[in-house]
Amino acid sequence: MEGSNLTQGNLSKNMRKLLIPLIFTNILNSIYTIVDGIWVGNLIGDVGVATVTNSFPIISIIVSISTGLAVGTSVLISQYYGAKNQEKVKSISGVSYILTAIIGVLSTVILMLLSETLLKITHIPNEILVQAKQYILIYLIGYMFYFIFDLIIQSLRAIGDSKNPMKLVIVMTTMNMILDPILIKIGLGTFGAGLATAISLIFGTIVAIIYVNKKSDLLKFDLKRIKIKKEYTLEILKVALPVALQEFIFSLVYFIELDLVNQMGVIGTAAYGVVEKIATIIYIIGTSFQTLTTVTIGQFIGDNKIDSTKEVIKNALKLAIIPFILSAIVLYVFPRESCRIFVSSTEVIDAAMKYISIISLIIVVIPIRGIITGFILGTGHTKFVAISMLSAVITEIIILHVLGNSSLDNLEKTGIAGTAFWIVKMMLELIYCFSGRWKKNVITEEGVI
């Protein structure tokens, strides 16, 4: 049987084998953001960092849609794969390709048209408005293709294959690392960084399509499968839309926070951006654990081994110990040195240090957060993840309102409200996990129930 059934054999060994390539893949996949930050910060300066930082909330909207479709599809694929229903896997995969392509093009075009308006909503400094718009437009062109790449990667992971996604990401990342400094240095600036990413995303997608057509019978582009079927379309959307909604709501958090830090000028925006870059590195690990848990739980649920899900969580938490310790070292022992990787300005670093002192604990527990969310996603009950996210956003807005007239600066207000955001989300999801409501099956031979 194609892929790897995680419900068979030694669970701890199976999870380790899946996790290690996942971490490497996510590190490579996120190098776009990290490399852009390093090159832009060192070759362009504070203005470049502020430009990319202000672009991120808009980019995160398109990421939320792509992630929702890809993760939602992978949940169903992992459950049907665990149930050993290969025909369902093929059908879900085929419908997801055309559905993702249509939604990808439409959402990208809409964001392109609204990009300038969205930037102005966040009170972006006037001196970087044009640069940010150019960066976003070229980035979005590449990301339109990435919808399919992301879907292929997540689908391969859903059937227990994390090695080949890693190879595909290596190809894409290598191109980005080569093009980034070249296009920036020839005078294209932040637009060059965006262009490097767009070219890499398009090339990577082409390679991924070629690979899956040649190597995967379950996930290949078969014209007989690639068509809109109401039954499977509704099945995908029922699980995928709440994931997309969760990611979209999360992107709104960046709009809210950027609206505040932008009022501090380029220094405040750059400081916020530097800390977010550090958090992104740790978030890579958290995303790996979330995917690991989602796929493993999905296969166990599909195989009706509900009682074994406790062992999945125990093994995931054991694997998270080392990342937890390393994250703590970065944020509590070497925070200033970590900031210097992205920017050399002492003023920006000082502001970033203040922000880190407030939100460091929430960043450190990112891997654990990933396990909790991944567990719920793997069961297929994705609606609650969206509910917990919405509740957390409401909490953050309330706290920001309460702190509105305080003597704290906007970075401090953002840090306090952001910490409350993640505490609320984690607590709600933990309560849901312990409640046992997730034990209601999501798939049957007839489809979603």
Is a pLDDT exceeding 90 seen at residue 256?
no
Task: Tell me the percentage of the chain whose pLDDT exceeds 90.
Answer: 38
Q: Give dist(CA 383, CA 223) in Å, integer.
A: 32
Instruction: State residue 447 phi and psi, 5-degree precision.
Output: 130, -160
Single out the residue of 283, 256, 287, 248 nearest to residue 272, CA to CA. Answer: 256
What radius of gyration, in Å, describes the C-alpha atoms of the chain?
Answer: 21
Encode pLDDT of 199-209 as tens digits.
999 999 999 99
pTM across the whole model:
0.83
Q: Give dist(CA 153, CA 100) in Å, integer.
A: 13
Encode pLDDT of 110-160 as tens digits.
999 988 888 877 677 777 788 888 888 999 999 999 999 999 999 999 999
Residue 245, SS3 per DSSP = helix
Encode pLDDT of 322-352 as tens digits.
888 988 898 898 889 988 888 888 898 998 8
pLDDT for the residue numbered 445: 46
Mean pLDDT to the nearest integer, 279-300 = 90
pLDDT for the residue numbered 252: 79
Q: Give dist(CA 268, CA 410) in Å, integer.
A: 8
How many CB atoms are closer than 10 A to CB 255? 15
Is a pLDDT exceeding 60 seen at residue 444?
no
